[in-house]
Structure formats: structure tokens, C-alpha cells
Structure 1
């Protein structure tokens, strides 16, 4: 895939989940999720109102940025459970990101979504290495990384400013296309 090429929309499935392109109708769910204090702390998107949520969605729906961003929904009722994305795609390398709604926490939604999108990135985009970074105090994201088969590689010192405005050390995890996939 070219460094800044267009990624075609995709629909993926994980056990109990649908990973699909974002829709304008997701605006209320995005607003609720990104204004939740637990989500807002670890996400630098300053979404505080419906207009901000709509702008957040517009950027995610823009396929010309070379990233893939998907809504994660419940297959049973279509409820928005989170987001998952591959971004900073350069050659055979990329980064994965995600968040979950309050209702989805503790259900391994992020693990399933990250695992499926990672496999798709290896198989369909020809990626070789995908990195996952999270703030060291974000223990839940460390569990997601480990369960999704991302090996811990080190600590990046004060490498990212998060939603609370502070810079944090981050754990760097990565999966290679040659690593065995985790069991969902």
C-alpha cells in the first residue's frame, strides 16, 4: 500500500462484533463515548459537543488520509461499543488505536477488535509490523495489547500528550506478521 494512499471501506467481524465504516448517525454515540471521563483521559480528541463529534466523525470517514478507522458495534443490537483504527501507515508498518464505550468495558471488545483489524492489516494491506502504544498508567490498554498478541518492547519516555493534557511515558507493544495470532 502506498504511504498516503486511499484505503477502501471495509466491513469486518469479530465474535459478537461488527467493525464497519463510520456513519453520520454515530454522532450521538461518539459524543457520549468521547465525553466519558475514562475515555477522554486517554484520548487527546477534544470533543465536548455534537459539532465536535460530527467533526471527529468527518475526519474518520475521510478515506484519503491513508488510515482505516472503524466503528465497533454489537452484532446483536447494533449498539456502538467503540472504535478501532490502523493509522500512520507507512510501507509495511502501522499503528493501531482503539477506545471502548463505558458499556463495553470488561467484555474484551477492544481485544477482539484489535485482533481482527491486525490480522486484516497483515493479510490485506501487506503490513509486517503494527505498533500499539498506551500510557503506562493505562493498565486496561496493557491487557488489551497482551491479549491481542502484541509483545511488550519497551518504554517511550513522555512520548505523548493525552486527553488530560499531561505527557506520559508509554509502553510500546508490537506484532509482526510472522507472530502467531492470539486465540479469541
Structure 2
């Protein structure tokens, strides 16, 4: 499945393009992983080229099974969406569909340090959300869930900006050491 998504530019931010991860992303992934904040909030492990290759293999297998559809998010500074050499990795967004018959799936994301606070995460999450509801409408996908630790206030803001409404507090469970927030967005949610 060849998939490319786009989030249009805003007055204060360049356009984003989202596409499945590939081997060319290894150096950028290792660079982004050096950020201690990212390492604190994610289970991503990409301390070395070998780690990054293993992580990308997980993403590739996810696309093959349809259970983990993960996108590298790049800023498109040219406005064309065509030249990756003119772009920079800014985030990851993922749709997790472990039970295709349940009518729900989970979304997740992380943002590179150099891209935080510029609206990248909510815009990329919105592009993923619209794509997921459109693409899997025939599978009756009706609900997307976003989970984060209760003390991750930045993720709470991203969820709200992307119209994922707070649903409930979830008790801590591995790999999360603290309680979490569950945010939900429904396919029929008003714009």
C-alpha cells in the first residue's frame, strides 16, 4: 500500500507530508532519539543505527499485517511535497489496529525536539485521523483512542487540539508507570 498524506501549510508553519517509514530515515531517527524528552515519554529505542533499523523493521511488519500503520512526518519547506532532501523529519504518527472487527483503533505520536510547540503534532494527528476514518470506513472504524500518561500535559493539549475529547483516567499498567488519560475521537464527531 503506497500512502502519502498531507497537512496544508498554515500562516505560521510549513506544510507537512506523511509517508511510511523507510531505510533512508535511519540517520534522522537516530538524531531525533538523542532528545531526552522523547526518550522519557516513548518506548522508542534508537540509540544506534542497528536500533533504528530494528525499529523500522517493526514499522514495516506493521504495514504488512495492517496492525501498525506508522508514518514519518516531514516538514515540506518547498511546498511541493516532492523533494525529501528539502524536508526534515519532525514527528511520527501511528494507527494501531490490533482488532479490525472492534470498530476502534489507537493512535499515537511523538514529536522531534526541534518541532515542538509549532503545531506539528496536532496537524499530523488530524491528517492521520481523517485518513483512518476514510480508509477504514468499510471496516466500520468508528472510534479512535489516544492514550498518554496523566503527567504528560503536552500530549493532553495535542489531543484536545486534534479534537480527541478526554474520556477517562486509566490506572497505570506496563509499560506506563503512572495513571493515564484516554482521549477519544469518533468518526461522526462534528468539525
TM-score (norm: length of structure 2): 0.85
Q: Please name the residue that 2:166 is paired with.
A: 152
| Unpaired segments ≥5 residues, structure 2 | 9-14, 78-85
Which structure 1 residue ranges, 4+ long, deviate > 6 Å from structure 2?
none
Q: Please name the residue that 1:4 is paired with.
A: none
Q: Please name the residue that 2:6 is paired with.
A: 13
Once the two structures are TM-superposed, the CA of residue 89 in structure 1 deviates from its matched residue by 4.1
Once the two structures are TM-superposed, the CA of residue 9 in structure 1 deviates from its matched residue by 3.2
Deviations 1:117-153 (A, max 9, x none): 1111111112200000001111110000000000100
Once the two structures are TM-superposed, the CA of residue 49 in structure 1 deviates from its matched residue by 1.1
Higher strand content, 1 or 2: 1
- CA 1:160 to 1:14, structure 2 compared with 1: closer, same or farther past 3 Å? farther
SS at match of 2:151: coil
- CA 1:31 to 1:51, structure 2 compared with 1: closer, same or farther past 3 Å? same
Once the two structures are TM-superposed, the CA of residue 29 in structure 1 deviates from its matched residue by 1.0
Contact 1:22 1:70 in 2 (8 A): yes
Q: Would you say how many aligned residue pairs link Structure 1 and Structure 2?
A: 170
SS at match of 1:152: strand
Contact 1:17 1:75 in 2 (8 A): yes
| Unpaired segments ≥5 residues, structure 1 | 1-7
